[in-house]
Homo-oligomer: A and B are copies of this chain.
Amino acid sequence: MKSKYIIGAMVALLALCTPNTIAQETTGMKEFTLEDLNFGGTNYRNMIPGNRRLTWWGDQLVRLEASECYLVDKKTGKETVFFTLDDVNEWLGGTPDNGLRSLSGARFPYADQSVVLINYGGERRLVDFKQHKQVWSQCNADELQASSFNTVSRHTAFVDGDQLYFRPADGGKDIQLTTDGSREIVYGRSVHRDEFGIHSGLFWSPDGMRLAFYRMDQSMVADYPQVNLFPRIAAHEPDKYPMAGETSHEVTVGVYDVATGTTLYLKAGDPKDRYFTNVAWSPDSKTIYIFELNRDQNDCRLVSYDAATGNRIAELYRETDAKYVEPQHPIVFLPWDDTKFVLQSQKDGYNHLYLFDKAGNELRQLTDGDWVVMNVVGFNTSRKSIIISSNECSPIQCNTWEVSVATGKRTLLDNGEGWHTPSLSGSGRYVADSYQTPTVPRNIEIADVKTRKHTAYYESPNPWEGYKVPQFSCGTVKAADGTTDLYWRMVRPADFDETKKYPTVVYVYGGPHAHNVDARWNYSSRSWETYMAQKGYILFILDNRGSENRGKEFEQATFRQLGQQEMRDQMCGVEYLKSLPYVDADRIGVHGWSYGGFMTISLMTNYPDVFKVGVAGGPVIDWKWYEVMYGERYMDTPQANPEGYAKCSLLPKAKDLKGKLQIITGYNDPTVVPQHCLMFIEECIKAGTQPDFFAYPGEGHNMMGHKSVHLHERITQYFEDYLK
């Protein structure tokens, strides 16, 4: 296949790109501060690539700005004013003082209607921009615990005070659907700790006349004690947290029928130790599909239910795996054929698309190859094709493709470079193609799926123009298995001199469902790396086995032994570093957060003579303190895999700490609870080793806003104090 040939060449090009990419002239250039570079910094917004806020009105591309919106000509990229904020306020009869303040959140939900959806004055409103008047409104529930608005029926479901409510489109009174909602009985919100692709708990049927919703009973789950330090007297605010091997919550799926006003629950049997994931509706709003997974996470079934009775209809698909199955995507029906749906699975080793009929017969595999489908962007009904994102071009790229459902033929819809974030028009005819490459901060093109034509629309200026920009490069090393290519990124000072020896910091994450190195701008370098390079460090980042987008075997290499293969792979990167004459092997540091914090301490204690300084944020210390869903997927339970838990635990490693290690946590981290790092510190104290520690009061798993600037100044200072 032609496209494949081209892509192969590009992979080689990326993999071979040598460190000496751009010669730097740094005299008289500006220096970065963390206020420039860091998320939450006072100048951060000026230092990131420019962008355009775009949305679709059917096949019309609309650019949204605060004070006006524009129609974008898809053939020329030229903009004409669509309407302005003042227009809308005039139509609403508001005044400049208390009117709508910005159009940036506007949406155009109906391709065939000249209405814009806005939120203003506590109301969700539809305003006709041709007739210049409001045509519908409803009290807005967006600020509540959860809410979901269906554009077809215009009904809203929401959760307030832990109870689920239905708010009819016609302005009628809210109907309370539950009474026993509480901290322990959770309605309408994400369950299973956001694993399995779950991120909400309200699922409208396509016609908006039935609402599926999650109910999670976590009364049997242990509390993790959290302390709110901010009241006059600190207060206990417990958080239900099921730890690996311990009693977990029980989830059921309810259905509220607007027409009958009744609520029923799907008859799925005993919910104990089961996961109910990826809720999907049939196009006719009559059937609900759920991927049901056992607690061992190695046996997954796609089950259909009658939404009117709650009866189980059939098991349509079953997938087992010696290690684990991880359903992450609801099935999606073909818009032009409601008897067939697309299912994603990595059963052949890579995440691919499969076409099924409603009876559960697998008709054919739609995509295949040693690359992964990263996203189903949408459909083009007239061409009967699926638009997807994949890394077929290169393991570190993300490109947009059209896949013919009939033939499986794939056609690249973008330039085959970099990392693309497509937005598909209503009919699937056009793609707003926003992308970066290692040297392109952000371009946006408009692609015509039918004609294959690309129209240039937006090109971000280089936001770092005039600054001393470090040298970014990328390459591969072989993994510890001797065969697998692992991608790395390197960041070197702007005035890099290969005759010098530089202190070098390995930044690491290393866990599943993430990667660090890709073909975005500056290879997706984190801004802190630039700051450190400016201070005279080399930064090195490598995606070890276990990270995402490389297929099942790559990911599952870590099963039941988290951290072990990852460390071996990271050490391949360190060996490469040591082979470089300009890397000072006596001054190697390591830093990572969360899983990367776990990796940092693992590396510091397993290779105490390699890493002189480390900073570990929010680190997992022993997987027994992590939650059931994620933890048991990779580690099984502590009861079933005691050797694995023992091998991966950092508690017995506390005595091996030799270098300087600072552990940082959000004092109220609800994800990697502080018990992890504090019990590691306890072990260090017993063993007579001396880690350093810092806690951000009131913060969770990541430091938000300007605290992130403080954090990165802190991390930097630690390396400055002890590595330089």
Contact = CB atoms under 8 A, between A and B. Distances in A.
Given A222-B233, A235-B225, A236-B225, A698 B682 contact: yes
A525 B224 CA distance: 44
A675 B238 CA distance: 17
Nearest to A238: B236
B695 A229 contact: no
A678 B694 contact: no
Residue among A223, A230, A235, A685 with max Cβ neighbours from chain B (10 Å)? A685
A697 interface: yes
A695 B721 contact: no
A691 to B, nearest CB: 9
Contacts of A709: 688
Contact of A697 (B235, B236, B682, B694): B682
A707 B690 CA distance: 12
A692 interface: yes
B707 A681 contact: no
B695 A693 contact: yes
B714 A690 contact: yes
B225 A673 contact: no
A717 interface: yes
A679 B693 contact: no
Contacts of A23: none
Nearest to A246: B233
A696 B685 contact: yes
A488 interface: no
A52 B223 CA distance: 52
Nearest to A225: B236
Nearest to A242: B233
Nearest to A722: B721
Nearest to A222: B233
Nearest to A710: B685
Contacts of A241: 233
A209 to B, nearest CB: 43
A275 interface: no
14 contacts: A222-B233, A225-B227, A229-B674, A229-B679, A230-B679, A232-B243, A232-B246, A232-B624, A233-B243, A233-B675, A234-B673, A236-B238, A667-B678, A681-B696
Given A229-B674, A232-B624, A685-B697, 11 more contacts: A225-B236, A230-B679, A234-B673, A236-B236, A667-B678, A679-B697, A682-B698, A688-B709, A688-B713, A690-B717, A721-B721
